[in-house]
């Protein structure tokens, strides 16, 4: 009896010690948790604060800083190139959303509901996702050469289709810069979002379909009444995530592809920040632009999320 009791209290002590912060746990935190947090803070959080701070200064990165208040911000909003880069960003995002969302819905529904053979589905899953594993530099080069008027195949394809009159004289990337960029950016995004949506569709319980079949619902009405409503919240996620992701990361593709050219035709906000800050040493100015970009992306993403969520409630 006594032994039993002792065992029990021992056990309780042990349970307690799993939860309690013992000195050896404190040592573990000091050895691993704290350094990780400090490194993360120093390389990923501190730069945000320093960019907000320098955005109110005139600074070349080497000289002394000079406080100038909101002058950088005013100059940015007055700069037609920044306005153009914002317009380009939104144009790219707008068409990207339309292309990615519609194609991804078509593909995801086809691959889950058309009852294709297993091999076919596996093949498309493998191929459509493929662009996601490539580096932007590979993507940029492959497509730049593909559209290249001298050695690329795009013009040859147009000739084959008897569409020579559509061939731009100075090359696709020069005359149709934004449409080409939109195409490539959408091409990169489709596979990932398709995978996300496929798993959302597969999460809908099969019983719902079975019972609706008994009620005499056809495939089309199942699609409209069951599949689409159940993936709507996922689609909403996608819209916001494409929006938020693109505003910051459009520049990742455009930098190696056109570097904003020709003549700022494809400049975007992220690239504007990069060029001013890294190439032209206008650090304070670039940081002010970065803060603007940050504010714009957060505001736009939150408000679009809010609007879409409200619509869902109705």
Partner 1 sequence: MKTQSFGSFISRSLIRIFLAFWSLTVIFPLVWLVYSSLKNNREFYESPWKLPDVLRLENYQNAWVTANISSYFLNSLIVVFGALVFYLIMSTTTSYILAKYKFRSVKFFQNFYLAAMMIPGVLLLVPLYYQMLALKLTDRLITLIILYAVQGVPFAVFILTGFIKNIHNSFIEAALVDGASEFNIFTKIILPFIKAPIFIVSLLNIMGSWNEFTTALTFIRDETKYTVPIGLSYLANTMQYRTDFGALFASLVISMVPVLVLYAFFQKQLQEGTAANEGVKG
In the complex, minimum distance from the CB of residue 252 to partner 1, in angstroms, rounded to a whole number: 6
What distance in Å separates the CA atoms of residue 97 and residue 81, rounded to the nearest whole number? 24
**Hey, which residues between 280 and 299 contact partner 1 (CB under 8 A)?**
283, 286-287, 290, 293-294, 297
Measured from the CB atom, the residue of 19 and 207 that comes closer to partner 1 is: 19
In the complex, minimum distance from the CB of residue 283 to partner 1, in angstroms, rounded to a whole number: 6
Beta-bridge mates of residue 231: none
**Hey, which residues between 50 and 109 contact partner 1 (CB under 8 A)?**
50-51, 54, 61, 103, 106-107
List the one residue from 199, 203, 221, 303 that touches partner 1 (CB under 8 A).
Answer: 199
Phi-psi region of 262 (alpha: psi -120 to 50; beta: other; left: phi over 0): beta
Do 305 and 296 touch, CB atoms closer than 8 A?
A: no
In the complex, minimum distance from the CB of residue 306 to partner 1, in angstroms, rounded to a whole number: 14
What distance in Å separates the CA atoms of residue 249 and residue 255, rounded to the nearest whole number? 10
Can residue 44 be called a binding residue for partner 1 (CB under 8 A)? yes
What distance in Å separates the CA atoms of residue 93 and residue 239, rounded to the nearest whole number? 10
Sequence-separated (6 or more) residues with CB below 8 Å from residue 27: none
* Size of the residue set binding partner 1 (CB under 8 A): 99
Measured from the CB atom, the residue of 51 and 177 that comes closer to partner 1 is: 51
**Hey, which residues between 217 and 276 contact partner 1 (CB under 8 A)?**
219, 234, 236-238, 240-241, 244-245, 248-249, 251-252, 255-256, 270, 273-274
What distance in Å separates the CA atoms of residue 100 and residue 184, rounded to the nearest whole number? 11
**Hey, which residues between 2 and 41 contact partner 1 (CB under 8 A)?**
11, 14-15, 17-22, 24-25, 27-29, 32-33, 35-37, 39-40
In the complex, minimum distance from the CB of residue 79 to partner 1, in angstroms, rounded to a whole number: 16
Do 300 and 243 touch, CB atoms closer than 8 A?
A: yes
In the complex, minimum distance from the CB of residue 37 to partner 1, in angstroms, rounded to a whole number: 7
List the one residue from 7, 9, 46, 223 that touches partner 1 (CB under 8 A).
Answer: 46
Do 241 and 20 touch, CB atoms closer than 8 A?
A: no
Centroid of chain to Cα 82:
21
In the complex, minimum distance from the CB of residue 284 to partner 1, in angstroms, rounded to a whole number: 10
Measured from the CB atom, the residue of 103 and 300 that comes closer to partner 1 is: 103
Do 242 and 189 touch, CB atoms closer than 8 A?
A: yes
Can residue 309 be called a binding residue for partner 1 (CB under 8 A)? no
In the complex, minimum distance from the CB of residue 174 to partner 1, in angstroms, rounded to a whole number: 15
Planar angle of CA 131, 136, 140, nearest 5 degrees:
95
Question: Could you give the C-alpha distances from 72 to 61, 66, 216, 217, in angstroms and in order?
Answer: 15, 12, 65, 61
What distance in Å separates the CA atoms of residue 173 and residue 242, rounded to the nearest whole number? 23
**Hey, which residues between 126 and 165 contact partner 1 (CB under 8 A)?**
126-138, 141-146, 150-153, 155-156
Measured from the CB atom, the residue of 68 and 240 that comes closer to partner 1 is: 240
List the one residue from 43, 165, 207, 214 that touches partner 1 (CB under 8 A).
Answer: 43
């Amino acid at each position: 009896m006594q032994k039993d009791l002792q065992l029990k209290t021992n056990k309780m002590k042990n349970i307690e010690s799993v939860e309690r912060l013992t000195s050896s746990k404190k040592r573990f935190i000091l050895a691993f948790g704290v350094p990780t947090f400090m490194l993360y803070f120093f390389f990923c959080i501190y730069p945000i604060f320093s960019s907000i701070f320098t955005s109110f200064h005139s600074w070349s990165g080497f000289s002394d800083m000079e406080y100038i208040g909101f002058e950088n911000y005013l100059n940015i909003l007055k700069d037609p190139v920044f306005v153009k880069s914002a317009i380009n960003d939104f144009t790219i995002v707008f068409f990207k959303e339309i292309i990615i969302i519609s194609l991804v819905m078509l593909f995801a529904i086809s691959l889950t509901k058309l009852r294709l053979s297993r091999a076919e589905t596996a093949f498309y899953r493998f191929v459509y996702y493929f662009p996601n594993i490539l580096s932007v530099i590979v993507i940029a080069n492959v497509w730049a050469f593909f559209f290249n008027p001298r050695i690329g195949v795009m013009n040859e394809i147009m000739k084959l289709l008897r569409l020579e009159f559509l061939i731009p004289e100075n090359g696709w990337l020069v005359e149709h810069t934004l449409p080409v960029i939109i195409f490539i950016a959408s091409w990169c995004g489709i596979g990932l979002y398709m995978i996300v949506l496929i798993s959302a569709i597969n999460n809908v319980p099969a019983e719902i379909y079975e019972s609706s079949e008994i009620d005499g619902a056809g495939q089309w009405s199942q699609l409209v009444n069951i599949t689409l409503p159940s993936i709507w919240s996922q689609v909403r996620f996608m819209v916001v995530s494409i929006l938020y992701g693109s505003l910051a990361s459009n520049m990742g593709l455009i930098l190696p592809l056109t570097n904003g050219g020709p003549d700022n035709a494809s400049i975007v906000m992220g690239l504007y920040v990069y060029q001013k800050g890294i190439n032209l040493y206008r650090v304070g100015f670039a940081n002010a632009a970065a803060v603007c970009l940050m504010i714009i992306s957060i505001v736009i993403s939150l408000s679009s999320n809010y609007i879409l969520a409200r619509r869902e409630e109705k």
